[in-house]
Amino acid sequence: MFISRYIYDWIKNSKQNPQYNDLIKEVMEFLRKRIVECVNSGIKKNKLIIDPGFGFGKTVQQNLALVKYLPELFSLDLPVLVGFSRKSTIGAILEKSANDRLIGSISLASIACWMGAHIFRVHDVKETADALKLCDAVKNS
């Protein structure tokens, strides 16, 4: 699985020293290259999803910027997965332990839902689903 190896190496290297000249541009370029490699290796584009890697090799401020500019990822024409659930960024901002980050996780999921994210990786499924139903109800009213 060469794609997984690329992602592993990128995450490993970026965690050691998370510096970006232009976070969104660099994440987008990384994802574009991986999409091309997947398609060139025979994977159909409609079988791919985008995961920008919230919490992996990024500072709190970089994670917040990734949320703020989430709509940029939609230009890749693939479903976008977000995984904020219980991340350390939430803990850093709210000063909460991992088990006390429910409201932060739901808040970020709701923001991402409002912005158009497609897939949500969560720990607290029932609570997040309720919040996303409300978000969708307002968006579609």
Q: Active-site residue numbers? A: 87, 121
Residues in the chain: 141
The total of other beta-carbon atoms located within 10 Å of residue 14's CB is 19
How far is residue 31's CA from residue 26's CA, in Å, rounded to a whole number?
Answer: 9
Residue 18, classed as helix, strand or coil, is: coil
Is residue 57 within 8 A of residue 49, CB to CB? The reply is no
Decide if 123 contacts 86 (C-beta within 8 A): yes
